[in-house]
Amino acid sequence: MNAIEIILGVSLILNVILIIGARNILLQNEELEDTLLETVMDVQQKVGTAYQTMQDVDIRGSFESDDEVGAVFTELKDIIEKLNETI
């Protein structure tokens, strides 16, 4: 065997190993994308539910008064509205 055959053999083995590694990384990336998409959808649903619940709780506007409870309620409602718009 000459040096070129040895180099080609080693190169072939390394290429196969790199292709298998790249394939595994792509599969992991796809799994991560799926998990991330599920998480985003779950967060979006929970933010929507929280926003609807806050609106239902304050149906008469009693929490939106000028006292401390009203201020905290208004701030929470604003945060949830911003999250709802972002998501």
CA quadruple 35, 41, 46, 47: dihedral sign: positive
| Each residue's pLDDT tens digit, 14-58 | 999 999 999 999 999 999 999 999 998 898 888 888 878 877 877
How confident is the model at residue 66, as a pLDDT?
A: 57
Burial tier of 59 (Cβ tally within 10 Å: 0-12, 13-18, 19+): exposed
Q: Where are the domains of the chain?
A: 3-86
50 in Cβ contact with 84 (< 8 Å): no
How confident is the model at residue 79, as a pLDDT?
A: 83
64 in Cβ contact with 74 (< 8 Å): yes
How confident is the model at residue 60, as a pLDDT?
A: 67
CB contact set of 49 (below 8 Å; sequence gap of 6+): none
| Each residue's pLDDT tens digit, 60-84 | 666 666 566 677 777 887 888 887 7
Residue 27's identity, in one-letter code, is: L
